[in-house]
């Protein structure tokens, strides 16, 4: 016992001394910044059920940073990444954030693919005043209400998708009666609220709102409810598997005269979606939102895919790869604009002035005082199973509908 | 009215799939006292094996349909031989066995899910081509896919085959004897551990077939094994020890889910099977078809 | 075996509390957070083990009681301004009461029926957390305000650690007493054979109901602990996965033994953090490895790691001086 106590006391003394050293070192330069290096904590789900949303996007973000380093870094500093796996699990993500901030002493945090997990870390980063840039989460619950240190939604929030589809349905397709089907979760709630607000603002009527469980096995009942409401258009915020089930039943029940409008999360790769639906009839009247320019611009798509293959030769990029790019571009752009004088507070101020018109996204990536969601405009695409046609116009969310 | 009829018809079809998975669970439970929490993952690897055989090995559909049950049979039988025989071979108190068995099957479920998930191809939702395709069939106002009819037909055939197997064949009778009283069966010369392996294989093969049938309908993700909870609900309605009970329970559950979706709210669909499990166990713990719980094995 | 636990064990509890006061001054937030998380899991796992390892009731409802504990403590604080020292016991008592109500019908069931009925209850509870928007904020998750202890705000891992260490020490101490009490012996008797237990004058049904209630109380306390160092709760975290994690901790560590449960919590809590050092390409195998560990543990360590450790100690003891064996019930059944 006495030996144990002595050892414990020794370890504690060492720990306290180390902490003291860390504190004095902290006072001189901001954490994670040296004369030739900026440390960024990069994380996403690299294992577990949501791994699809993490590996490629994180690789893509890393690729953007690697390209910057290859061109000599930013104002003479190279970017060094500390990469962690958050499993899209709240408890785990909070642990990762605390590790990156207090053990790895990163300058900023860049990561997170799931809004609920990110929201769990929000209080901590606000208290510690560490800038947190989301990797590729839609992020509604983490950016509304806006907080000083959290930035995100680089492909648009669910509010943006719901609003875009509703505008397109009422204005372009002249729908009066609109039916909405979404998931029974935070994304679905936000999507539904925005779509409903827009439909009603534009003089239409929401005739059905179905909230379905994400793991639904038989989608017959909600689709029958949709049909019974006799809508002029159906808006869907479903995820990939239920989105396919929805389109199948919609085809089966002979509802194909009614336009079906799908938010982007339901069809990460449109061609795979079409193959899964398996019924060309069900795709006759299909539209979906899209946040990237790669449909209109084949060359752009090829550029990113080729670059990805250069960095990761043994991995075929999945559909979510591009979603990791815009947030990394925004971080790089902000660091470029800041010059050599880096502090976390100045990073927040510079990030707030972001107005990045990248060739990747359908709209500008912008923040502002009281605004922490980057992308507010998307396009609507008509997809018949083979060709994709970008419909004229950009559909912007007004910052109010559905809040 | 056509709304309700359509809901019922689709519910019957989905219910048949639940019933198949439930059959697999109940056969295992009756013969070996193991609650198989990996039942859903056996369905899942059945589906992915089917896709692998079709896309990678370019096999014809019929060959795939024959090979998948064989492969999944092997997975189940090996799991019993390697893991469960070792776990069950220990003379511990009964409850320890139940917990150990369940934890072992939970382990298997993570193992299978994890093995599938490392292949990036599975990151996207996939679909197996249906057994029969073509325009949908109309029965009055009710629409059904050809695949739906195939599901009903295959479920009926498997049910009949199982009934014949357990009632008419020597092997089937030996299996039943093993599940009723393993010690007595061993005394009359039934090779009990080989029987257990065969049961695990058989049940897994049924789960594999369910996977092939289900994949065109429910779509494939590494998490599709979650369907096992619906199968548990179906089995509980049927009493957890009766094979016809599974089919009735599955179909009842499929129909109830759709009626809840139509008349109450689609939000409540998710909780329906669990609510049903609780109600049945509260008011009729032996299920609709089960033997009395008081009847204990010697 | 009756009476107070040996002084050595009580001293260990004192050491735990001391560490809870000292460590926050020595370690960065990350380690404190992991420590707090592990201590919370320890309370959760000790409670589940009372039902599972001691009484032999295979029930899954634990995670629901944990959820009740979290939401009740947080909402009492946020809506009614009830401070933590009052709110957490109330929340735990509510969890215990629900546990009691569940136990009355559930104790009629055995084996698979009990497991599935309680599993179904846990799923229903999670659905309620997700759907009862006006109270739990539903799928948006609930942002909790910092709890107060005697007017003092507990807003971070540093402040929370001493409090959590005290709570864990109290719960551990209670468990040590419980093992040695008449009730603790009754739990084990019911597990080993209900017939024998009934024959020796134990009211089996009452014992089972008490096990359910006490176990639910522990889960409720663990829920209260959660509100001390976390700021956000989402229904997704109250599903099967968390339950399986706790179950794994118990089984790998050694069910029915306090030391085993603590060892399991430590091991499975630290494992994912240790794996952070693994090459990135291997991370995706984690789920597979997790399954494999479970299967291997069940195959080769029927009494968990703790069983192995004790077995080794005993073998050594035959040669050397006799070690002080930890008096836990399951060890009395020789393998």
Q: Is a pLDDT exceeding 60 seen at residue A11?
A: no
Please indicate if any CB of chain A lies within 8 Å of the CB of B230. yes
CB A174 within 8 A of CB A206: no
What total number of domains does chain B contain? 1
The set of residues, in sequence order, having a beta carbon less than 8 Å from that of A248 and lying 6+ positions away, is A277, A278, A279, A282
Whether ipTM > 0.95 holds is: no
Contact state of B120 with A315 under an 8 Å Cβ cutoff: yes
Contact state of B127 with A276 under an 8 Å Cβ cutoff: yes
Subunits in contact with chain A (3 or more CB pairs closer than 8 Å) = B, C
**Which residues in chain B have Cβ-Cβ distances shorter than 8 Å to A225?**
261-262, 266
**Which residues in chain B have Cβ-Cβ distances shorter than 8 Å to A49?**
117, 222-223
A54 falls within a domain: yes
Distance from the C21 Cα atom to the nearest Cα atom in chain A, whole angstroms? 12
Segment C125-180, tens digit of pLDDT: 999 999 998 999 988 999 998 888 887 888 789 999 999 999 999 999 999 999 88
B199 falls within a domain: yes
CB C246 within 8 A of CB C44: yes
Segment A81-97, tens digit of pLDDT: 999 999 999 999 999 99
The C-alpha atoms of residue C33 and residue A94 are separated, in whole angstroms, by 9
Burial C118-145 (b: 16+ CB within 10 A, else e): bbbbbbbbbbbbbbeeeebbbbbbbbbe
Please indicate if any CB of chain C lies within 8 Å of the CB of A23. no
Picking from B99, B270, B277, the nearest residue to C120 by CB comes out as B277
The C-alpha atoms of residue B18 and residue B210 are separated, in whole angstroms, by 9
Burial of C169 (0-12, 13-18, 19+ CB in 10 A): buried
Segment A193-230, tens digit of pLDDT: 999 999 999 999 999 999 999 888 889 999 999 999 99
Tell which residue, A300, A271, A328, has the closest CA to residue A56.
A328
pLDDT for residue C334: 35
Q: Are residues A166 and A276 in the same domain?
A: yes
**Which residues in chain C have Cβ-Cβ distances shorter than 8 Å to A92?**
272
Q: Are residues A263 and A391 in the same domain?
A: yes
Q: Quick one: average pLDDT of A126-153?
A: 93
**Which residues in chain C have Cβ-Cβ distances shorter than 8 Å to A120?**
141, 230-232, 234
**Which residues in chain A have Cβ-Cβ distances shorter than 8 Å to B211?**
none
Segment C228-272, tens digit of pLDDT: 999 999 999 898 889 989 999 998 998 889 999 999 999 999 988
3-state secondary structure chain C: CCCCCCHHHHHHHHHHHHHHHHHHHCCCHHHHHHHHHHHHHHHHHHHHHHHHHHCCCCCCCHHHHHHHHHHHHHHHHHHHCCCHHHHHHHHHHHHHHHHHHHHHHHCCCCHHHHHHHHHHHHHHHHHHHHHCHHHHCHHHCEECCCCEECCEECCCHHHHHHHHHHHHHHHHHHHHHHHHCHHHHHHHHHHHCHHHHHHCCCCHHHHHHHHHHHHHHHHHHHHHHHHHHCCEECHHHHCHHHHHHHHHHHHHHCCCCHHHHHHHHHHHHHHHHHHHHCCHHHHHHHHHHHHHHHHHHHHHCCCHHHHHHHHHHHHHHHHCCCCCCCCCHHHHCCC
The set of residues, in sequence order, having a beta carbon less than 8 Å from that of A145 and lying 6+ positions away, is none
Please indicate if any CB of chain A lies within 8 Å of the CB of B141. no
B94 falls within a domain: yes
B290 falls within a domain: no
Give which of C12, C29, C138 to mutate to test A binding, by max A Cβ within 10 Å: C29
Tell which residue, C309, C330, C328, C155, has the closest CA to residue C228.
C155
What total number of domains does chain A contain? 2
Q: Are residues A60 and A133 in the same domain?
A: yes
Q: Where is A41: in which H helix or E strand?
A: strand A37-44
The C-alpha atoms of residue A287 and residue A267 are separated, in whole angstroms, by 11
Subunits in contact with chain B (3 or more CB pairs closer than 8 Å) = A, C
Query: For each of chain B's 298 residues, which pLDDT tens digit applies?
Result: 678 899 999 999 999 999 999 999 998 888 888 889 999 999 999 999 999 999 889 889 888 989 999 999 999 999 989 888 888 766 444 555 678 888 899 999 999 999 999 888 888 889 888 878 778 888 888 888 888 898 899 889 998 898 888 888 888 888 878 777 777 888 888 888 888 888 899 999 999 999 998 888 888 999 999 899 999 999 998 888 888 889 999 999 999 999 999 999 999 999 999 999 999 988 887 777 665 444 433 3
Distances (CA, A) of C330 to A20, B94, C60: 47, 14, 21
Give which of C159, C280, C282 to mutate to test A binding, by max A Cβ within 10 Å: C280
Residue of C nearest to A100 (CA): C30
Picking from A210, A218, A316, the nearest residue to B120 by CB comes out as A316
Residue of B nearest to C282 (CA): B118
Q: Are residues A192 and A333 in the same domain?
A: no
Give the range among A103-112, A194-203, B184-193, C214-223 with minimum mean pLDDT: B184-193
Q: Fill in the DSSP letter of residue B30.
A: H
The C-alpha atoms of residue A138 and residue C145 are separated, in whole angstroms, by 25
A193 falls within a domain: yes
pLDDT for residue C37: 95
Picking from B6, B125, B257, the nearest residue to A244 by CB comes out as B125
The set of residues, in sequence order, having a beta carbon less than 8 Å from that of C84 and lying 6+ positions away, is C73, C77, C147, C148, C149, C154, C224, C227, C228
Segment A380-401, tens digit of pLDDT: 999 998 888 999 989 999 988 9
Picking from B99, B104, B281, the nearest residue to C295 by CB comes out as B104
Contact state of C112 with B96 under an 8 Å Cβ cutoff: no
Segment A266-305, tens digit of pLDDT: 998 898 999 999 888 899 999 999 998 888 778 888 888 9
Cβ atoms within 10 Å of A18's Cβ, excluding its own:
13
Tell which residue, C284, A306, A59, has the closest CA to residue B119.
C284
The C-alpha atoms of residue B172 and residue A63 are separated, in whole angstroms, by 60
Distance from the B131 Cα atom to the nearest Cα atom in chain C, whole angstroms? 31
Secondary structure class of A81 (helix, strand, coil)? strand
Judging by DSSP bridges, how do beta strands A388-390 and A377-383 pair with one another? antiparallel
Residue C104 φ then ψ, to 5°: -55, -50
CB B81 within 8 A of CB B197: yes
The C-alpha atoms of residue B157 and residue B151 are separated, in whole angstroms, by 10
Distance from the C327 Cα atom to the nearest Cα atom in chain B, whole angstroms? 20
Q: Are residues A144 and A258 in the same domain?
A: no
pLDDT for residue B297: 38
A18 falls within a domain: no
The C-alpha atoms of residue C92 and residue C217 are separated, in whole angstroms, by 5
Q: Which two tokens stand for residue B212?
A: 């092939």
Please indicate if any CB of chain C lies within 8 Å of the CB of A89. yes
Please indicate if any CB of chain C lies within 8 Å of the CB of A211. no
CB A80 within 8 A of CB A40: yes
The C-alpha atoms of residue B204 and residue B206 are separated, in whole angstroms, by 5
The set of residues, in sequence order, having a beta carbon less than 8 Å from that of B20 and lying 6+ positions away, is B155, B158, B206, B207, B209, B210, B213, B250
pLDDT for residue B92: 47
pLDDT for residue B128: 87
Q: Are residues A315 and A205 in the same domain?
A: no
pLDDT for residue A1: 37
Q: Are residues A255 and A390 in the same domain?
A: yes
Q: Quick one: average pLDDT of A19-39?
A: 71
Please indicate if any CB of chain A lies within 8 Å of the CB of B7. yes
Q: Are residues A180 and A315 in the same domain?
A: no
Burial B259-275 (b: 16+ CB within 10 A, else e): bbbbeebbbbbbbbbbb
How far is CA C237 from its chain centroid?
Answer: 16
- Classify A373 in phi/psi space as left (phi over 0), alpha (psi -120 to 50) or beta: beta
Measured over the CA atoms of residue B80, residue B86, residue B87 and residue B91, the dihedral's sign is: positive
The set of residues, in sequence order, having a beta carbon less than 8 Å from that of C10 and lying 6+ positions away, is C4, C173, C176
B7 falls within a domain: no
Subunits in contact with chain C (3 or more CB pairs closer than 8 Å) = A, B
A366 falls within a domain: yes
Contact state of B124 with A272 under an 8 Å Cβ cutoff: yes
A14 falls within a domain: no
Q: Is a pLDDT exceeding 50 seen at residue C329?
A: no
Contact state of C251 with B87 under an 8 Å Cβ cutoff: no
The C-alpha atoms of residue A363 and residue C144 are separated, in whole angstroms, by 35
B3 falls within a domain: no
The C-alpha atoms of residue A202 and residue A164 are separated, in whole angstroms, by 12
Picking from C22, C27, C280, the nearest residue to A83 by CB comes out as C280
pLDDT for residue B31: 81
Question: Residue C193: pLDDT band by 50, 70, 90 thresholds?
Answer: confident
A164 falls within a domain: yes
B143 falls within a domain: yes
Distance from the A253 Cα atom to the nearest Cα atom in chain B, whole angstroms? 7
Give which of B101, B110, B226 to mutate to test C binding, by max C Cβ within 10 Å: B110
Q: Are residues A83 and A118 in the same domain?
A: yes
pLDDT for residue C125: 95
Contact state of C247 with B106 under an 8 Å Cβ cutoff: yes
B27: domain range? 19-225
In A53-149 the beta strands, taken as DSSP E runs, fall at 78-85, 108-111, 132-133
Q: Are residues A327 and A317 in the same domain?
A: yes
Contact state of C294 with B110 under an 8 Å Cβ cutoff: yes
A93 falls within a domain: yes
Tell which residue, A155, A175, A128, A402, has the closest CA to residue A289.
A155
Q: Fill in the DSSP letter of residue B136.
A: P
Alpha helix positions (H), A231-378: 240-252, 270-277, 298-311, 325-338, 344-352
Q: Are residues A309 and A362 in the same domain?
A: yes
Contact state of B270 with A216 under an 8 Å Cβ cutoff: yes
Distances (CA, A) of A40 to A23, A119, A122, A335: 20, 20, 18, 12
CATH of the domain at A144: 3.40.50.2300
Picking from C115, C193, C298, the nearest residue to B104 by CB comes out as C298
Mean pLDDT, chain C, integer: 88
A348 falls within a domain: yes
The set of residues, in sequence order, having a beta carbon less than 8 Å from that of C217 and lying 6+ positions away, is C47, C92, C93, C95, C96, C99
**Which residues in chain C have Cβ-Cβ distances shorter than 8 Å to A102?**
28-30
**Which residues in chain A have Cβ-Cβ distances shorter than 8 Å to C22?**
12
Q: Which two tokens stand for residue B240?
A: 């957890």
Q: Is a pLDDT exceeding 50 seen at residue A317?
A: yes
Judging by DSSP bridges, how do beta strands A233-236 and A260-262 pair with one another? parallel
Q: Where is B17: in which H helix or E strand?
A: helix B2-32
Secondary structure class of A373 (helix, strand, coil)? strand
Measure the CA dihedral B64/B67/B72/B74, to 10°.
Answer: -160
Contact state of C236 with A90 under an 8 Å Cβ cutoff: yes
**Which residues in chain C have Cβ-Cβ distances shorter than 8 Å to B95?**
56-58, 191
A66: domain range? 30-156+299-372
Beta bridge partners of A373: A152
**Which residues in chain B have Cβ-Cβ distances shorter than 8 Å to C302?**
87, 90, 92, 96, 100
Q: Where is B11: in which H helix or E strand?
A: helix B2-32
pLDDT for residue B90: 61
Q: Are residues A162 and A242 in the same domain?
A: yes
How far is CA C89 from its chain centroid?
Answer: 16
Burial of B297 (0-12, 13-18, 19+ CB in 10 A): exposed
Q: Is a pLDDT exceeding 80 seen at residue A366?
A: yes
């Amino acid at each position: 016992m006495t030996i144990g106590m002595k050892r414990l006391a020794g370890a504690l003394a060492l720990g306290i001394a180390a902490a003291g050293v860390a504190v004095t070192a902290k006072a001189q330069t901001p954490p994670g910044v040296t004369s030739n290096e900026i440390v960024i904590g990069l994380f996403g789900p690299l294992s577990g059920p949501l791994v699809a949303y993490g590996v490629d996007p994180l690789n893509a973000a890393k690729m953007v940073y690697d390209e910057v380093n290859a061109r000599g870094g930013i104002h003479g500093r190279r970017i060094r990444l500390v990469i962690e796996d958050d499993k899209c699990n709240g408890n785990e993500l909070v642990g990762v954030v605390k590790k990156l901030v207090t053990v790895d002493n990163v300058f900023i945090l860049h990561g997170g693919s799931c809004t609920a997990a990110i929201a769990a870390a929000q209080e901590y980063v606000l208290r510690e005043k560490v800038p947190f840039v989301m990797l590729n989460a839609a992020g509604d619950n983490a950016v509304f209400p806006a907080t000083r240190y959290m930035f995100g939604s680089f492909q648009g929030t669910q509010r943006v998708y719901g609003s875009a589809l509703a505008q397109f349905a009422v204005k372009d397709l002249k729908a009066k009666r609109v039916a909405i089907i979404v998931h029974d979760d935070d994304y679905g709630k936000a999507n539904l609220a925005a779509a409903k607000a827009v439909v009603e603002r534009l003089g239409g009527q929401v005739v059905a709102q179905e909230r379905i469980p994400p793991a639904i096995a038989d989608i017959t009942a909600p689709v029958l409810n949709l049909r019974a409401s006799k809508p002029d258009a159906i808006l869907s915020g479903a995820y990939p598997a239920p989105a396919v089930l929805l389109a199948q039943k919609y085809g089966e029940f002979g509802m194909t005269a009614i336009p079906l409008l799908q938010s982007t999360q339901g069809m990460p790769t449109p061609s795979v979606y079409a193959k899964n639906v398996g019924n060309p009839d069900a795709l006759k009247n299909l539209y979906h939102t899209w946040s990237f320019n790669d449909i209109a611009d084949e060359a752009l798509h090829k550029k990113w895919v080729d670059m990805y293959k250069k960095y990761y030769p043994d991995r075929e990029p999945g559909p979510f790869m591009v979603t990791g790019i815009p947030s990394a571009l925004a971080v790089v752009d902000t660091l470029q604009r800041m010059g050599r004088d880096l502090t976390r507070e100045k990073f927040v101020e510079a990030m707030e002035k972001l107005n990045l018109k990248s060739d990747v996204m359908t709209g500008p990536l912008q923040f502002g005082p009281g605004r922490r969601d980057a992308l507010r405009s998307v396009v609507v695409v008509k997809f018949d199973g083979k060709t994709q046609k970008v419909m004229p116009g950009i559909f912007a969310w007004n910052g109010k509908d559905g809040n | 009215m056509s709304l309700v009829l359509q809901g019922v018809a689709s519910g019957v079809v989905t219910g048949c799939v639940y019933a198949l998975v439930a059959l697999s669970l109940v056969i295992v439970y009756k013969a070996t006292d193991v609650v198989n929490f990996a039942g859903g993952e056996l369905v899942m690897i059945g589906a992915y094996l089917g896709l692998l055989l079709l896309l990678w090995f370019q096999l014809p559909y019929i060959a795939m349909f024959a090979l998948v049950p064989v492969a999944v049979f092997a997975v189940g039988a090996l799991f019993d031989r390697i893991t469960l025989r070792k776990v069950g071979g220990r003379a511990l108190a009964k409850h320890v066995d139940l917990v150990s068995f369940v934890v072992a099957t939970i382990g298997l479920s993570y193992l299978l899910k994890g093995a599938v998930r490392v292949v990036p191809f599975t990151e996207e939702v996939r679909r197996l081509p249906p057994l029969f395709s073509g325009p949908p069939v109309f029965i009055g106002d009710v629409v059904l896919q050809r695949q739906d009819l195939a599901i009903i037909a295959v479920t009926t055939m498997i049910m009949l085959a199982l009934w014949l197997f357990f009632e008419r064949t020597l092997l089937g009778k030996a299996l039943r004897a093993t599940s009723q009283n393993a010690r007595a069966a061993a005394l009359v010369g039934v090779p009990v551990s080989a029987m257990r392996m065969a049961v695990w294989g058989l049940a897994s093969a049924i789960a594999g077939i369910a996977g092939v049938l289900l994949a065109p309908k429910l779509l494939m993700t590494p998490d599709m094994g979650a369907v096992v909870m619906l199968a548990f609900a179906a089995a509980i309605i049927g009493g957890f020890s009766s094979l016809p009970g599974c089919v009735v329970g599955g179909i009842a559950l499929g129909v109830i889910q759709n009626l809840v979706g139509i008349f109450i709210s689609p939000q409540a669909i998710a909780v329906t099977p669990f609510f049903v499990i609780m109600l049945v166990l509260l008011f009729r713990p032996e299920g609709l078809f089960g033997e009395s719980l008081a009847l204990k094995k010697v | 075996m009756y009476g107070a636990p040996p002084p050595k064990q009580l001293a260990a509890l004192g050491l735990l509390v001391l560490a809870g006061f000292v460590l926050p001054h020595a370690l960065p937030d990350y380690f404190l957070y992991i420590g707090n998380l592990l201590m919370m899991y320890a309370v959760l796992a000790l409670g589940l083990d009372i039902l599972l390892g001691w009484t032999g009731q295979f029930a899954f409802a634990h995670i629901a009681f944990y959820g009740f504990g979290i939401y009740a403590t947080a909402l009492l604080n946020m809506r009614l301004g009830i401070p933590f020292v009052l709110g957490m016991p109330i929340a735990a008592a509510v969890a215990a009461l629900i546990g009691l109500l569940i136990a009355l019908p559930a104790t009629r069931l055995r084996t698979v029926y009990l497991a599935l009925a309680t599993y179904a209850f846990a799923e229903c509870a999670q659905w309620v957390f997700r759907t009862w928007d006006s109270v739990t904020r539903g799928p948006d998750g609930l942002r909790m305000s910092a709890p107060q202890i005697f007017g003092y705000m507990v807003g971070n891992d540093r402040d929370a650690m001493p409090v959590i260490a005290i709570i864990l020490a109290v719960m551990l101490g209670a468990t040590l007493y419980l093992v040695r009490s008449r009730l603790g012996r009754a739990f084990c008797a019911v597990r080993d054979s209900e017939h024998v237990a009934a024959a020796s004058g134990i009211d089996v049904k009452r014992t089972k109901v008490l096990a359910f209630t006490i176990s639910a109380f522990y889960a409720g306390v663990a829920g209260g602990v959660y509100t001390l160092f976390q700021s956000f709760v989402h229904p997704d975290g109250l599903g099967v996965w968390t339950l399986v994690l706790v179950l794994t901790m118990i089984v790998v560590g050694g069910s029915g033994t306090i030391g085993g449960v603590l060892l399991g919590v430590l091991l499975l809590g630290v494992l994912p953090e240790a794996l952070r050092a693994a090459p990135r390409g291997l991370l995706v195998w984690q789920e597979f490895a997790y399954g494999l560990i479970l299967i291997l543990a069940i195959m080769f360590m029927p009494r968990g790691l703790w069983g192995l450790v004790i077995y080794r100690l005993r073998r050594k003891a035959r040669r050397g001086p006799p070690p002080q064996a930890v008096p836990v019930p399951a060890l009395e059944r020789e393998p």
